[in-house]
Structure formats: C-alpha cells, structure tokens
Amino acid sequence: MKISTRGRYALRTMVDLAQHSGEGLVTLKDVAARQDLSQKYLEQIVTQLSKAGLVKGTRGPQGGYKLARAPKDYTVAEILELVEGSLAPVECLEADTNQCDRCSSCATIDMWTGLYKVVTDYLGNITLEDVVRRADANAGNDYMI
Amino acid sequence: MKISTRGRYALRTMVDLAQHSGEGLVTLKDVAARQDLSQKYLEQIVTQLSKAGLVKGTRGPQGGYKLARAPKDYTVAEILELVEGSLAPVECLEADTNQCDRCSSCATIDMWTGLYKVVTDYLGNITLEDVVRRADANAGNDYMI
DNA sequence: CTAAAACCTGTTGACACACTAGGAAATAGG
DNA sequence: CCTATTTCCTAGTGTGTCAACAGGTTTTAG
C-alpha cells in the first residue's frame, strides 16, 4: 500500500517546477540538486510526464522544463496515476485489465471499489497549487522555535 | 499503491472462517481448497493472524482455526495493517519508523497524512461482518441472469 | 500407535524497483 | 561552423520483496 519513489519524485518535481516557474525554464540538474535526487533517474520520470503533456521540455542550452498548465489545473491524482500506473488497490479494478472470474461472487470487490473511490476522491480534489501553497507555508518551519 | 496477495488472502481467510464458524474448527486444507490458494503459503499468513490473536488455532486431528471474536468486532483495517505491515502511503508516516529529516519543510507530508487518514477511516469502519454480509449477497449473483 | 492437523525454519524463482551507463539529437551562444 | 548544454532514448544491473515451495517438528483425537 505504498506510493513508490517514482510517484513521490514526480510530485516533488512538479512542485519544484511550479515554485520556480517565474525564472523561465528549469533544468533537471537544478531540480535534482534542490530535491537531492538522481538526475538520471529523474530524466526517466520527467520524460514520462513530458510525453503525457504534463510538462513541456525544451532542448539545448538555456533549455529545461516548465509546466504545461497552471498549477491549479493539475490534480495530485492525475500525476500519481500517470507514473504509478494506477491507484487501484487491486488489479481487478483497473480499467484496461481483465477482471478476475470470481468477481461475480467476490466478497471483497465492493470494499476495494469503495477504497479506490475514497482515494481518488481525496487525491482528485487536491491540486498542485494546494501542495505548493502548503509547501510555502511549511518552508517557514525551519525558522520556528 | 497495491494491496499484496498476503493482505487479500488474509482477508479471504477471515471471511471464510466467519462463514464456516457454525461447523466447528476450520482446517487450512479446506480454506485453501475453497479459496483456491496454496495451503503452505496460507499457513504462513494464518500463523501471523494466530500469533496476533486474531484467530485461534488447535492442533491435532479435528483441529483447525476459528475466529477469536465475533465478525463484527474485526475491522478490515486491523486485519490488513497486521499482515501488510502498515497502510501508510509513505514510510515517513509509520509509527515506529524514523521520519525523514526534511519533514519540517516537506511540501507533501500533509497530503500523505490526509491520504492515510482517509484510508484508515474508510477501512476502519468496515467490519468483517460487513464483508461477510456482502459476500452472502453477492453469492446469489451466480444464479442471476 | 497412527494419522491429522497446526506450527516452525529455510530456500527459491521471478519480478519490480531504483537506479546507473552511455550515448543521440537538438539548439543557444560564440 | 563549433562547442557546450540540455533534453531525449535505450539498455543494463544490483537489490530486495513477494509468493510460493519444501521438509520437517509438535500436538492430539481416535
């Protein structure tokens, strides 16, 4: 029941891009340094974000990435769902996949469906802007007693 | 973000024990046959349930397992939490574990905390009895057109 | 005494995760 | 045009966990 590093890194990168959107394009080198992540590993994850159209990449010197939309127009759910594959707690619930043959008499399928809904409802109502706002608020904690 | 087979099997076993509680002790051989699971693998999982006091085992011929309490006195959350280790979406939130040193300025910790709460609230309010009731209702589906 | 069951310990194969490695293609600045 | 910088692409690798198997020991009803 864990979110993988892949999902967490993607989210942190998106937050980082939002926070530094005023400074033009952001390089992965900078993101990796600020977030203390492997740049090479980040490349793979961000490429996925780029192919899906969540971020826009520009090659060459002075190149880098930027968000494709405003932070308020991303939900955490869509970011995680993209890189994690699916937020479904069991495979039976995945859209494309075949459901198992015991679904018709399954004792637990309704419970999993409910859990899936609870998770997607929650994460689908948190925007990237919400996370950034909270990040800015928490940044002050370092100076609190 | 998946529940492992370990958690799902544990739950199915608990449901099976509840459903056959009227027939005295239930052997793992029967559970494995009914649920189509590896008996040896089940043994490991059920031993864990037994050590934690969720089920009561009796050795020897005519032996087997039974629930330690009434089905309504188990929540799905406690069963899954036991065998899965934790339902926390990130390690930082686990009770015993050390939280990471960036928690004080973490952008996403509040979001993960909220997700954890949503999940445990949902699963903590579903009892084993609820699942069994639903299972009995769904069992009729095989005969529906 | 025997067989059936829970209990215990170790091993294994497969697979995904979290990276590492080494480039190729594009492009701004000189 | 040349070079450095950056994204983009493909492949490999070590580690660990999951899921299951294997082979017992202990308990106990009949």
Q: At B98, phi and psi to the nearest 5?
A: -75, 135
Answer whether B15 sits within 8 Å of A108, measured CB to CB.
Answer: yes
Which letter does DSSP use for residue A127 in this model? B
* pLDDT on residue B137: 82
Q: Are A54 and A79 in contact (CB under 8 A)?
A: yes
* pLDDT on residue B102: 72
Q: Model confidence over B82-128: pLDDT tens digits?
A: 999 999 999 989 876 556 777 777 889 999 999 999 999 999 999 99
- Please state which of the ranges A43-47, A74-78, A141-145, B22-26 shows the lowest mean pLDDT: A141-145
* pLDDT on residue B144: 41
Residue range B20-29: average pLDDT? 95
- What type of residue is A125? N
Chain A interface test: which of B1, B79, B82 (most A C-beta within 10 Å): B1
* Residue A47, token pair as written in the block: 């490429």
Q: Give CA–CA dist A26/A39, Å, rounded.
A: 13
Which residues, other chains included, contact B92 with Cβ-Cβ below 8 Å and sequence gap of 6+? B99, B100, B103, B106, B109, B112
Give the pLDDT band of residue B129 (cuts 50, 70, 90).
very high
* pLDDT on residue B97: 58
B48-53 contact pairs (CB < 8 A, 24+): B48/B10, B48/B82, B48/B83, B49/B10, B49/B13, B49/B14, B49/B79, B49/B82, B49/B83, B52/B82
Q: Model confidence over A31-63: pLDDT tens digits?
A: 999 999 999 999 999 999 999 999 999 999 999
pLDDT of B136 above 70: yes
Q: Give CA–CA dist B104/A142, Å, rounded.
A: 7
**What is the CB neighbour count within 10 angstroms for residue A109?**
20
pLDDT of B15 above 90: yes
Q: Is A86 on the interface with B (CB under 8 A)?
A: yes
Which residues, other chains included, contact A17 with Cβ-Cβ below 8 Å and sequence gap of 6+? A26, A31, A55, A65, A66, A67
Answer whether B3 sits within 8 Å of A8, measured CB to CB.
Answer: no
Give the pLDDT band of residue A94 (cuts 50, 70, 90).
confident
Pairing of strands B55-58, B64-67: antiparallel
| Partners of residue A18 on adjacent β-strands | none
Answer whether A134 sits within 8 Å of B110, measured CB to CB.
Answer: yes
Protein contacts on strand D: list nucleotides below 7 Å from a Cβ. Answer: 4-11, 18-23, 26-30
Tokens 């050390």 correspond to what residue?
Answer: B98
pLDDT of A145 above 70: no
Q: Give CA–CA dist B108/B114, Å, rounded.
A: 10
Q: Model confidence over B34-87: pLDDT tens digits?
A: 999 999 999 999 999 999 999 999 999 999 999 999 999 999 999 999 999 999
Q: Give CA–CA dist B80/A16, Å, rounded.
A: 35
Tell me the residue range of the domain where B112 lies.
Answer: 5-143
* pLDDT on residue B145: 41
The CATH number of the domain holding residue A89 is 1.10.10.10
Q: Is B52 on the interface with A (CB under 8 A)?
A: no
* pLDDT on residue B61: 97
Protein contacts on strand C: list nucleotides below 7 Å from a Cβ. Answer: 3-10, 17-22, 25-29
pLDDT of A144 above 70: no
Please name the nucleotide lying closest to B2, CA to C1'. Answer: D18
Q: Give CA–CA dist B45/B27, Å, rounded.
A: 14
- What type of residue is A136? D
Number of folded domains in chain B? Answer: 1
**Which 24-83 positions of B have CB less than 7 A from strand D?**
37-38, 40-41, 43-44, 58-63
Report angle CA B73, B45, B127 to the nearest 5 degrees.
20
Residue range A54-78: average pLDDT? 98
Residue A13: which H helix or E strand, with range? helix A5-19
pLDDT of A98 above 80: no
**Spatial distance from the CA of A54 to the C1' of D15 (Å):** 31
